[in-house]
């Protein structure tokens, strides 16, 4: 193995800069190339299949049906609201994790990241235990304010924010750590309070990181299924978002499911295009 790669490396060296430089590419070893191509096909073929099987002739009709519109509208509103909640709560949380030294910070960061790897259904169950009508917080909301969160549109927003906020926090915290904290010090020596320094100096400096985090969170919220169906249920017009509608339609009306899926695919591509400059240019 070593000798093979050595020889490949030497061959590449002799060819580097020469007119036959393209030969280097054919030097990719088969044990790497083969699984790589299968992996590529594995990721791309399902998407092609979706396009191939799309009922293009009936698509306009499918997409203009009131049910689809309702689900799409609800999805966009809830995902946007969940992103707003994530921004309002998540950016300060990211700042706390990145800039303030306190005992247990590592543990707190681990807790914040947990929803990233937690199965969303478990998240939904956990939300029910916390905010459900008999939940440890929810029972007080119910008896004091008459507020019920599960199985409402607000519940959808909460479920989506629970799952999406960690993406934003991680992204913003990373940007904050990379940003030079001495800019905040410079602002302080100019008479800015710590909050003013954050608002007028730090925030603009980390804006690209916040934008990327917000887009990630929004995309995650838009596709959220498990936590939503567990915590908010599946009521058309109230809590039935696009992914839920897709799942339901697949059992009764596959063509509608495909049409809905196509819309979500288009949104995903748009998101990727929006983040293009940030990630696609890596390397």
Partner 1 sequence: MTETYDVRADTTLEGLDARLVVDRGAFRLDVALTVAPGEVVALLGPNGAGKTTALRALAGLTPLTDGHLRLDGAELDRTPPESRPVGVVFQDYLLFPHLTALDNVAFGPRCQGAAKAQARARAAEWLDRLGLTDHAGAKPRKLSGGQAQRVALARALATRPRLLLLDEPLAALDARTRLEVRAQLRRHLAEFEAVAVLVTHDPLDAMVLADRLVVVEHGRVVQQGSPADIARHPRTDYIAQLVGLNLYRGEADGHTVRLDGGPAITTTEDLSGPVYVAFPPGAVTLHRDRPTGSSARNLWRCEVAGLETHGDQIRADLAGELPLAADLTTVAAAELDLHPGAEVWATVKATQTHAYPV
Tell me which residues in 166-205 interact with partner 1 (CB under 8 A). 180, 182-183, 185-194, 196, 200-201, 204-205
Cα angle: 77, vertex 47, 116; to 5 degrees: 50
Measured from the CB of residue 187, what is the shortest distance to partner 1 in angstroms?
Answer: 7
Measured from the CB of residue 107, what is the shortest distance to partner 1 in angstroms?
Answer: 26
Measured from the CB of residue 87, what is the shortest distance to partner 1 in angstroms?
Answer: 19
CB nearer to partner 1: pick between 8 and 196: 196
CB nearer to partner 1: pick between 106 and 191: 191
Measured from the CB of residue 282, what is the shortest distance to partner 1 in angstroms?
Answer: 22
Contacts by 89-96 with C-beta closer than 8 Å and gap 24+? 89/161, 89/165, 90/165, 90/168, 90/169, 90/172, 90/213, 90/217, 91/168, 91/172, 91/203, 91/210, 93/169, 94/168, 94/169, 94/170, 94/172, 94/173, 94/176, 95/172, 95/176, 95/198, 95/202
Measured from the CB of residue 175, what is the shortest distance to partner 1 in angstroms?
Answer: 14
Both structure tokens of 121: 């259904």
Measured from the CB of residue 193, what is the shortest distance to partner 1 in angstroms?
Answer: 6
User: Among the residues of 141-241, which ranges form H helices?
Assistant: 153-178, 182-189, 194-197, 203-205, 207-223, 226-231
Measured from the CB of residue 196, what is the shortest distance to partner 1 in angstroms?
Answer: 6
Tell me which residues in 54-113 interact with partner 1 (CB under 8 A). none
CB nearer to partner 1: pick between 6 and 180: 180
CB nearer to partner 1: pick between 17 and 191: 191
Q: Residues 6 or more apart from 198 whose CB is under 8 A from it?
A: 95, 184
CB nearer to partner 1: pick between 4 and 193: 193
**Sign of the dihedral through C-alpha 200, 201, 203, 207:** positive
Compute the distance between CA of residue 26 and CA of residue 198 in angstroms, rounded to an integer. 52
* Site mask for partner 1 (CB under 8 A), range 5-44, x = bound: ----------------------------------------
DSSP 144: I
Compute the distance between CA of residue 191 and CA of residue 143 in angstroms, rounded to an integer. 47
Q: Look at residue 152 and give its three-state secondary structure.
A: coil
CB nearer to partner 1: pick between 61 and 180: 180
Q: What number of chain residues touch partner 1 (CB under 8 A)?
A: 18
CB nearer to partner 1: pick between 89 and 192: 192
Tell me which residues in 117-156 interact with partner 1 (CB under 8 A). none
Q: Residues 6 or more apart from 67 whose CB is under 8 A from it?
A: 236, 245, 256
* Site mask for partner 1 (CB under 8 A), range 203-232, x = bound: -xx---------------------------
Binding site for partner 1 (CB under 8 A): 180, 182-183, 185-194, 196, 200-201, 204-205
């Amino acid at each position: 193995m070593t000798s093979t790669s050595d020889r490949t490396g030497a061959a590449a060296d002799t060819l580097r800069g020469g007119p036959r430089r393209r030969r280097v590419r054919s030097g990719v070893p088969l044990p790497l190339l083969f699984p790589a191509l299968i992996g590529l096909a594995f990721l791309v073929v399902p998407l092609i299949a979706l396009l191939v099987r799309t009922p293009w002739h009936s698509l306009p009709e499918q997409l203009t049906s009131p049910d689809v519109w309702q689900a799409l509208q609800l999805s966009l509103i809830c995902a946007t609201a969940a992103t707003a909640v994530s921004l309002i709560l998540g950016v300060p949380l990211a700042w706390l994790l990145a800039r303030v030294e306190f005992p247990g910070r590592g543990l707190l960061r681990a807790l914040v990241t947990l929803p990233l790897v937690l199965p969303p259904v478990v998240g939904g169950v956990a939300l029910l235990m916390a905010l459900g009508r008999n939940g440890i917080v929810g029972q007080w909301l119910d008896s004091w304010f008459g507020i019920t969160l599960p199985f409402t549109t607000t519940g959808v927003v909460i479920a989506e924010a629970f799952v999406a906020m960690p993406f934003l926090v991680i992204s913003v915290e990373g940007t904050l750590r990379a940003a030079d904290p001495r800019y905040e010090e410079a602002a302080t020596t100019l008479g800015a309070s710590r909050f003013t320094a954050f608002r007028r100096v730090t925030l603009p400096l980390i804006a690209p990181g916040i934008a990327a985090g917000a887009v990630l969170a929004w995309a995650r919220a838009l596709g959220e299924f498990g936590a939503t169906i567990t915590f908010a249920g599946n009521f058309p017009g109230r809590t039935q978002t696009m992914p839920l509608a897709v799942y339901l339609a697949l059992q009764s009306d596959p063509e509608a499911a495909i049409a809905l899926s196509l819309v979500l695919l288009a949104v995903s591509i748009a998101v990727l295009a929006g983040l293009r400059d940030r990630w696609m240019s890596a390397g």
